[in-house]
Structures are given as structure tokens and as C-alpha cells.
Amino acid sequence: MNLTRISTNPILLPDPTSEWETYNVFNPAVIYHDRLFHMFYRAQGLDWISRIGYAVSVDGIHWNRMRRPVLEPADESDSRGIEDPRVTEIDGQFYMTYTAYSSVFQGTGEPTHEGGGIQPMIARSRNLITWERIGPMVVGEDNKDHLLFPRRIRGRYVALHRRTPQVWLAGSEDLISWPHDQMRPIYGPRPENGWDSERVGACGVPIETAHGWLMVYHAYDHSHTYRLGVCLLDLEDPGVVIHRPRECILEPKELWEIRGDVPNVVFSCANPVVNGQVYVFYGGADHVIGLATVGLEELLEYARFG
């Protein structure tokens, strides 16, 4: 089973006239709200610092973008950039999870980012434009690829995050405190499987279905090629994997996915469902933004039995 790329890809390109999105636009969050697609994309400009830009669309293909970032570095904790957002709505408010890249490494072991460290952050908004920082999920370790489920489960906020090389589950009463003793790994690389043999991480916000949480994830192998796969998690205990097909559903094939700032990458942070279609927005080679689609029922069938 493979996702279908739209014919007009890529759908968003860097803007050479802008100082802050000159070189790369990639890895967007997208939420469908009030009959519009709202995109929050990572952009790199003349200083190579990542900021979050905003664009809006009626069809998910043609976009009008704001001329200034909606989120950019504010202090030492994110001085080297704000990366890879995911956005969801919970109880009438919007929440963005993003990675803060600092010039200071506060974790143990080897940092995952050159010349600094990263933290998994959360921000909140009522209008999708103005964002209030809430704070980090964890401190003292390099941690990223985190997202919030779109509703509370058993009365608690629930999140996925990555402690290298696995996807972990976490819970919180208030989005501020995430007890470490209640975190647990869900799944990790499959060394025998090829495409997801080295490292895995969550993509967009999980999709609630009658059969479980439908989750798109990314992974890479020994060649550092990023691909997308899918799995199904239990509705009331997302720490339980119901099924995880062995094959990927999207891999780099187009020239703009193979060549870019980082070669051989398809990396998604968004998979909203609109009129029975799953829209998988993704970064191609850390340079441009593409879109691939699939019917929700087809993807769910594959996640259950593939």
C-alpha cells in the first residue's frame, strides 16, 4: 500500500525574497479548522535558524502565507531554532508541540544535534496565530518528535515522544508536569526489517477510529533514508500496539525528495482527515513541502491487516 502524491507537488517552496524562509521550508504541521487548512511550517533563512511560518488554504494545495513567523526564538532555550511542529485541538484550544534547539546541551551522552541540545516544548493558542509557550515536556535529555493526542484519555493529556531510538508514551494532568515514572516505550526499530531498522519517531497527530488510534510514523535505516509507515494503537491504552505492518507507505522517489538540504528524506508532521481522505503533508529532503493522500478506510484496512 502506497500513498498517492498529488500531481502539483511540491506545494510550498522557499521564498528567496524573504530573509527568514530563504533556503528551506519543510516539516509542516497542518490542522483543518473552520473549512480551512492551516499550515505551520519550519523555515530556514539567511541565518539558518529555524522559525515557524503560517499559511492558509482552501484545498490543501494552494497556499497564502503570512509574511512573518508566528513563532521564533525567544531566549537561550531555543536560540538555534524552533523545529518540526505538530498542532492539535483539545477542548477548544490549539496546542503546538515543537522542538527547541539550544546552543547549550543539557543532556547526558552524545547530543543528537550538532553544537547544542534540544527539548520537546509545548505552546498554546486560541486563534492559531498568537502562541503562548507552556514549557518543556522533559528536561535534561535530548528528546523530540513529540505530539499530543486530540483528546484526554482516562482524564489525562497523553503524548508521544522519542527517547532515541524508540517511541514513548507519556501522560500529564496539566501539560506542565509529565512524570518520568509513568513514561514507557511503545515500539522501536526493527533491525531485521530494513527500512525502519535504526530509529523511529511519531509523525502527525494520531487519528481516532473505531478500531484504534491510526498513527503514521517515520523511520530510517543504515543509509539514513527516511520513510513513512503506519501502525494502530489501542484506543484506551495507546501504549499497546494492535498491529504494525512491515512495509513502508511512502519513500523518497521524486528528485525533490532525494536531493535537498538533507538527501533522501520524506518526513511528516501532519495527517489531517478531510472528507474521508487522509492528507499527509511532508518535507522533501528538508527543502520543500509535498502532499500525498489516501482514503481513510484504505489506510485503516492496511494498518489492521497489512
**How high is the pLDDT of residue 108?**
65
The residue-averaged pLDDT of 211-217 equals 98
For residue range 275-289, what is the model confidence (pLDDT) as tens digits? Answer: 999 999 999 999 999
Domain ranges of the chain: 4-305
**pLDDT band per the 50, 70, 90 thresholds, residue 219:** very high
266 closest CA partner among 276, 256, 277: 256
Whether 110 shows a pLDDT value over 80: the answer reads no
pLDDT digits (tens, 9 = 90+) for 131-179: 999 999 999 889 999 999 999 999 999 999 999 999 999 999 999 999 9
| Distance of alpha carbon 81 from alpha carbon 263, whole angstroms | 21
Residue of 83, 77, 86 whose CA lies nearest to 117: 77
Task: Copy the grid coordinates of residue 252.
Answer: 523518497
* Rounded mean pLDDT, 209-213: 98
Question: Please, are residues 233 and 251 in contact by the beta-carbon 8 Å criterion?
Answer: no
Q: Which CATH class is domain 4-305?
A: mainly beta
